Amino acid sequence: MVSALGMTATLGGCGGSGSSDVTLRLVAADYGDSRDDSSKKYWDGLVEEYEAKHPGVKVEVSVYSWNDVDSKVKAMVDAGDAPDLAQIGAYADYAAAGKLYPASELLSIRTQADLLSQLSDAGQWKHVQYGIPFAASTRVLFYNKTLFAKAGITPPTTWDDLAADAKALKDKGVKFPYALPLGPEEAQAETMQWMLSGASTGTGYTDDVGTYTIDSTQNVDTFTWLKDDLVGKGLTGPVAPGKLNRADAFAAFADGQVGMLNGHPTLIQQAAKKGVKFGMVPMPGREGTARASMGVADWMMAFKQGGHADQVGDFLDFVYSQKNVLDFSREYGLLPVTGSASNTMTASDAKADETLHPFLEQLPTSELYPVGKTSWASVSAAVKKDIGQAVAPGGSPSGVLTRLQATATAADSSAAN
């Protein structure tokens, strides 16, 4: 998701335990890229409207950059001063520690029913929902229309098409025919998208019941194909995939140096600002369009420490109203997490909404990281560190994936004990 410098607000103490004079504290991530569009601006407006209708409740919001927000919340929790609400990247550790309210104790039945089911399911720890999806995105294949026209090619629908297109782009001197960012910034995303595109079953890193299957035959075959048919043939550009970060790949696309890459909604504005003419299609699969796209969600959670379940629940019902979900999604180019808002955006012919339609189309069949596993953070870190070696000259896809599987199995076992 978008990361930017955040702004901090002074946190106030909790109020009384009755229905009046209650202060709720919310720590939130910043989706803006400047002071002018900081998420603080969004929350300030929303809180002002809420407080006007609920004079006995105050909501104090502290907004931090994505670089800092998770650690800020962890520091507060470790100090015994958990916020009432946190809107951050992961919830499972706090759920496993018994620190969170289940969503069912907070949200109205109407709000719960409106949340998109695949996102709600991903918010479960041990079959109970603690993570409430707040924002979502999916991945599609971006391609440079100008470069494709010069090469006389059309967008790919299979891996063979993608390799052929990449060769045609290389022959025309394109610097990065297909940009493959397996560098440490966000390698876990590119990895999962390719796992999904090569899979007939499973959810990328895990099988359908949540067991890690990183070294499955289909995943080994996928990375063998990447190593031999893309990287080994010089179709991924001059930077080794293990050294190429997602932000650098996006910047190169916006500079007109990339023929194709996997991208999320923020690339739309980045490329448009530079005047790049681009198209978007579903990620190709081995024999046709990939069975599933990768989805990403950020999470809202409520800590039990403050004890204001009724007020927290009422505020969250307001946050997740159709209008507020749409306002946030449109402000930051993200996908709505509720059915009502998603349907409204899908039916809209407003230009800003239409640019998100390809991503919305992917959402119902998208697969998310295994965020309900407390082991995922350490597994993700290992993937970021090592996956680039799988496609490096002399690298062994089977060997790298086997080592990552061992790391995941050990982390899973440790988390269960």
* pLDDT tens, residue by residue, 10-24: 223 333 334 458 999
We report the CATH number of the domain holding residue 336 as 3.40.190.10
* Residue 107 and residue 72 in one domain: yes
* Residue 410 and residue 362 in one domain: no
Is residue 357 situated within a structural domain? yes
* Residue 185 and residue 274 in one domain: yes
- pLDDT for residue 7: 29
* Residue 233 and residue 248 in one domain: yes
- pLDDT for residue 417: 63
- pLDDT for residue 16: 35
* Residue 263 and residue 129 in one domain: no
Contact 307, 99 (CB under 8 A): no
- Domain span at residue 112 reads 22-137+296-368
> What are the tens digits of pLDDT across the range 49-61?
999 999 999 999 9
Is residue 52 situated within a structural domain? yes
- pLDDT for residue 200: 80
* Residue 400 and residue 277 in one domain: yes
Contacts of 10 (CB under 8 A, 6+ apart): 60, 62
Q: What pTM, to 2 d.p., does this model score?
A: 0.85
* Residue 357 and residue 236 in one domain: no
* Residue 223 and residue 146 in one domain: yes
Contacts of 130 (CB under 8 A, 6+ apart): 91, 92, 94, 95, 100, 101, 102, 103, 123, 124, 301
Residue type, 147: L
d(CA 220, CA 373): 23
Is residue 2 situated within a structural domain? no
Is residue 175 situated within a structural domain? yes
Is residue 54 situated within a structural domain? yes
* Residue 66 and residue 182 in one domain: no
- pLDDT for residue 20: 55
* Residue 384 and residue 254 in one domain: yes
pLDDT in tens, the chain (417 residues): 443 323 223 223 333 334 458 999 999 999 887 777 789 999 999 999 999 999 999 999 999 998 899 999 999 999 999 999 999 988 999 999 999 999 999 999 999 999 999 999 999 999 999 999 999 999 999 999 999 999 999 999 999 999 999 999 999 999 999 999 999 988 999 999 999 999 887 778 999 888 999 999 999 999 999 999 999 999 999 999 999 999 999 999 999 999 999 999 989 989 999 999 999 999 999 998 888 889 999 999 999 999 999 999 999 999 999 999 999 999 998 999 999 999 999 999 999 899 999 999 989 888 999 999 999 989 999 999 999 999 999 999 999 999 999 999 999 888 766
Number of separate domains in the chain = 2
Is residue 43 situated within a structural domain? yes
* Residue 254 and residue 400 in one domain: yes
Is residue 8 situated within a structural domain? no
* Residue 185 and residue 220 in one domain: yes
Is residue 238 situated within a structural domain? yes
